[in-house]
């Protein structure tokens, strides 16, 4: 299958998801492990001591029996802590043949290992691999938020390494991921200038902006009080968006729409576009539990209970109930990259028709 064919295989269900329920989701957000070396002030994932996570053979069965995924977001924990990461991605690439894989990293694993794993993934023939390097502040602030001394310098080095890989792999895309919370509110400009001293070529377009949000099933952080002030954050997001350079292409278009939505969400607490959860996408945790999204603790099944056949969950009574609640606006309001992008893509394609 050519890259164009793979792209079309993503665009077509994105359009159809605006019209009717898909037979199967085209977007999968999959937490492959909850293991994490960070000690983040914004997230309690690192306190989880995971056991009985899906094994590689189980993931291969799941990939083989569910071939609808055209966009797969691998997340954690820290994805690079799974020694079988390349084999996990290979399994989905051979069955679903996705157009896009996305994945974050905290940069705390050995940089040579990270480089080797990414190189192997890029050699699989995936049309687009997107890596987000987490960076939540200038050196002292980032290390404080992440709870690991030296984390800032490791993130800078990983970004430089990705720049080197990019010269050999046109299918690689990467950005810094900056999450605004009460711990770094108003500190983006100082962070940007700090990074620019290390990497002079950096621009505002090299940063993806998120807003710290609460999820018991994913971040386990409802007790941390991470949300920053609404009006001040909306102003900060607007200033960042206005400094981004105009670029042609799908990614800049979607990112700009995401930032506009994030600005609005930070002011109102309301998502600017309806959720596509259970229409286009779902969340699978490392134990095989299926949820509509990373933000909603409404479990609708476990793939181990259905012999890894997701269709039995997708078309279940529990799934229908979740869709009904989403339609009525009873799902949690959120605007995260994991959930918002498919809403944006579907909305853009729908409006173009």
Element (DSSP H or E) covering residue 232: helix 230-243
The position carrying tokens 């971040």 is: 219
Give, as one character, the DSSP assignment of residue 270.
S
pLDDT, averaged across the chain: 91
Taking only the tens place, the pLDDT of each residue in 199-243 is 999 999 999 999 888 888 888 887 766 666 678 889 999 999 999
Per mean pLDDT, which range of 34-48, 90-104, 272-286, 327-341 is the poorest?
327-341
Would you say 207 and 259 are in contact if contact means Cβ atoms under 8 Å apart? no
Instruction: Kindly report, residue by residue over 300-350, the tens digit of the pLDDT.
Output: 999 999 999 999 999 999 999 999 999 898 988 888 888 888 888 766 655
Q: Which phi and psi (to 5°) does residue 74 adopt?
A: -85, 130
pLDDT at 107 over 90: yes
- The dihedral built from the CA positions of residue 45, 50, 54 and 55, taken in this order, carries a sign that is positive
With 0-12 CB in 10 A as exposed, 13-18 as middle and 19+ as buried, what is 172?
A: buried
The two structure tokens encoding residue 248: 């042609």
Q: How far apart are CA 186 and CA 305, in angstroms?
A: 46
pTM over cut 0.85: yes
- Bridge partner list, 216: none
d(CA 239, CA 224): 27
From 80, 81, 101, select the one nearest 90 (Cα to Cα).
101
Model pLDDT for residues 17-76, shown as the tens digit of each residue: 766 677 899 999 999 999 999 999 999 999 988 999 999 999 999 999 999 999 999 999
d(CA 267, CA 72): 30
Listed as own residue / partner, the contacts of 109-117 with beta carbons closer than 8 Å and 24 or more positions apart are 109/37, 109/78, 109/80, 109/81, 111/154, 111/157, 111/158, 111/161, 113/80, 114/80, 114/158, 114/161, 115/161, 115/165, 117/80, 117/85, 117/86
What domains sit in the chain, N to C, each tagged with a CATH number?
Answer: 3-352 (3.20.20.70)
Tell me, what's the pLDDT at 68?
95
């Amino acid at each position: 299958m050519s890259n164009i064919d793979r792209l079309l295989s993503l665009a077509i269900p994105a359009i159809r998801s605006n019209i009717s329920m898909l037979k199967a989701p085209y977007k999968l957000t999959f937490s492959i492990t909850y293991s994490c070396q960070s000690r983040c002030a914004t997230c309690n994932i690192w306190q989880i001591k995971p056991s009985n996570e899906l094994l590689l053979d189980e993931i291969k069965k799941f990939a083989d029996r569910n071939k609808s995924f055209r966009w797969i977001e691998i997340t954690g924990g820290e994805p690079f802590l799974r020694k079988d990461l390349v084999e996990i991605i290979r399994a989905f690439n051979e069955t679903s043949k996705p157009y896009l894989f996305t994945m974050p990293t905290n940069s705390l694993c050995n940089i040579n290992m990270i480089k080797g794993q990414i190189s192997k993934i890029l050699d699989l023939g995936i049309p687009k691999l997107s890596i987000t390097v987490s960076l939540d502040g200038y050196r002292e602030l980032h290390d404080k938020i992440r709870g690991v001394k030296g984390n800032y310098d490791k993130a800078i080095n990983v970004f430089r390494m990705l720049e080197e890989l990019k010269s050999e792999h046109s299918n690689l895309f990467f950005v810094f991921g900056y999450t605004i919370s009460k711990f770094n509110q108003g500190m983006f400009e100082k962070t940007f200038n700090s990074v620019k001293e290390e990497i002079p070529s950096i621009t505002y377009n090299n940063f993806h902006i998120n807003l710290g949000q609460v999820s018991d099933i994913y971040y386990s952080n409802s007790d941390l009080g991470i949300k920053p002030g609404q009006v001040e954050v909306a102003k900060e997001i607007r200033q960042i968006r206005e400094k981004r350079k105009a670029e042609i292409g799908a990614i800049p278009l979607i990112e700009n729409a995401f930032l506009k939505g994030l600005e609005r969400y930070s002011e109102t607490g309301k998502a600017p576009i309806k959720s596509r959860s259970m229409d286009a996408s779902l969340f699978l945790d490392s134990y095989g539990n299926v949820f509509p999204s990373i933000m909603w603790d409404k479990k609708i099944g476990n793939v181990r209970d259905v012999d890894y056949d997701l269709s039995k969950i997708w078309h279940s009574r529990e799934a229908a109930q979740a869709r009904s609640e989403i339609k009525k606006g009873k799902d949690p309001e959120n605007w995260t990259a994991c959930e918002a992008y498919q809403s944006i893509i579907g909305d853009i394609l729908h409006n173009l028709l």
